Amino acid sequence: MTSVPTDEEINLVTSRYREEEQRHHLHIYATKHNTHVTLTKPNRDALISVSCGNIGFRKAGRGTYDAAYQLAAYVMSRIQDQGLLTQIKRLEIVYRGFGPGREAATKVLMGSEGRNIRNKIIKLTDATRLKFGGTRSPAPRRLG
């Protein structure tokens, strides 16, 4: 038997939905070879999107902790320079991948560079894609 939701329950669901809409998102995609940081509006349109290659790191240098740290610090300064701090009321951090940039971006947020934006963070999410199942492994070699 299904029950009809009350007005109070409907208001609770719609208020949560509206709250979700108001969040800006800071996507941190950290791979072994590079780090990408994207700041998006609540409707997921990109405001700032940069990677380690955009700030001058080339080839193997893009995959280092230092490159990711400088990238995250650069994004924080761009947010301030463009005056986006007044627009951002709530911020959700979305991590993806397990590269060195993940830890570096966290250090920047917790350090002096992230002091202005730290109090706006309301949620941390991990969107790393995990494999299960997958393709069949090759047959072992039979020598002898």
Query: For residue 143, is pLDDT > 80?
Result: yes
The three-state secondary structure class of 119 is helix
In a domain, 36, yes or no: yes
| CA–CA dist 117, 110 (Å, integer) | 10
Q: Could you read off the pLDDT of 77-131 as tens digits, one per residue?
A: 999 999 999 999 999 999 999 999 999 999 999 999 999 999 999 999 999 998 8
How many domains, the chain? Answer: 1
In a domain, 140, yes or no: no
pLDDT at 21: 60
CA distance 95 to 28: 5
Domain presence at residue 9: no
Mean pLDDT of 45-51: 97
Q: Which amino acid is at 107?
A: K
pTM attached to this predicted model: 0.80
Average pLDDT of the chain is 91
Rounded mean pLDDT, 8-21: 67
Position 112 in a domain: yes
Does residue 137 belong to any structural domain of this protein? Answer: no
**The domain spanning residue 89 has which CATH number?**
3.30.420.80
Expressed as residue numbers, the domain containing 58 is 22-126
Q: How far is CA 109 from CA 9, 84, 93, 130, 144, in A?
A: 36, 16, 10, 25, 57
Over residues 3-7, mean pLDDT: 78
Whether residue 42 is predicted with pLDDT greater than 60 in this model: the reply is yes
Token pair 């941190």 in the structure block, residue: 28
Residue 111 in domain:
yes
Residue 1 lies in a domain: no
